[in-house]
Structure formats: C-alpha cells, structure tokens
Amino acid sequence: MKKKGRVFSGARPTGRQHLGNCLGAIKNYVALQDDYECIYCVVDLHALTTLTETEFLKEHTYDMVLDWLAAGMDPKRSIIFVQSHVSQVTELHTILSMVTPLGVLTRLPTFKEKVRQQPDNVNYGLVGYPVLMAADIALYKADTVPVGVDQAPHL
C-alpha cells in the first residue's frame, strides 16, 4: 500500500507519561502508522530548554520509548529515535540559526510565554526552540507535522 506522506513528530521527555499524553499524541501516533511513513523522536534537546533537573533526562527518555511501544507504536512501521543521537540535527540547527532573524523569534507567543514563566532563565534555548524544531522537520523532509496548538506558530 502506498503511504500518504511522511510524518515527523516529537515529544519532550520532561517527566513521566500521563493519560493526557496517551489520549492525545500517542493515540494519534499509533493511528498514523497505518497510512503514513512515520518518524517519531524523543526530543531531548528541546527538553533542555526548560528542564532544570537534567539528571532524570536519560531515565525519562527511556521510559518514554517504552510507553510508546506499549501503546502500540511499532518499530517495524515507524522510525523511533532520540534527537541527540543524530548530530545532523544540531548541525542544521546551527546553519538555520545563522539566517533566522532574532526579531521573528522573539515575537513568537510561545517565547513570550516562556519568558513570563521563567524570567530568571531566558536563554538561547528558549528563543531558538523554533529553529531547532525547523531543523528536525527539514532534516527528515516531513510533509505532515502533528503538533500541539501552542507549537503551530513555529511552523
């Protein structure tokens, strides 16, 4: 059967998965496997933008993959991997960051919200988050990118 296109999506391993994750993103990830070429990523580099207790990042990453597999994500029908294990994403992110106007990034609603939430920790990771997201999408040549409503302006 011919697939409809390529899906890329990722989730930040910032803690344990919960029912909302299962009923939201994970349920959709499983359903998309039938019709699309699916690429799913544990976006651990994105998690570093807000995660203050990084000692649990490896554990949360491992648990996230286990939860995805338990929910029905099939490694025979989807590519599942960890973002930081692919050096090309950081290389492309660096190149894209050199040509992305800072003003565009600082006007995004998600950046403004993060600044309000953590005024003592405003860093490039927050402002460059959409650039890293663009690198993820472009690297895998995705034509379908299921994201939360808050992430839509990044696309």
Q: How many domains is the chain built from?
A: 1
- Taking CA 78 as the corner, what is the angle to CA 76 and CA 80, rounded to the nearest 5 degrees? 105
pLDDT at 5: 92
pLDDT, one tens digit per residue, over 71-124 is 899 999 999 999 999 999 999 999 999 999 999 999 988 889 888 988 888 889
pLDDT, one tens digit per residue, over 22-57 is 556 788 888 899 999 999 999 999 999 887 778 889
Q: Is residue 1 part of a domain?
A: no
Tell me how far CA of residue 44 lies from CA of 8, 10, 47, 60, 129, in angstroms: 15, 9, 5, 9, 12
Q: Is residue 155 part of a domain?
A: no
Residue 79: give the domain boundaries. 6-150
- CATH number assigned to the domain comprising residue 48: 3.40.50.620
Which amino acid, 140?
Y
Spatial CA neighbour of 42 closest among 16, 69, 60: 60
Q: Is residue 129 part of a domain?
A: yes
Q: Which residues pair with 40 in a beta bridge?
A: 9, 80
pTM above 0.95, yes or no: no
Q: Are the CB atoms for 29 and 38 separated by under 8 Å?
A: yes
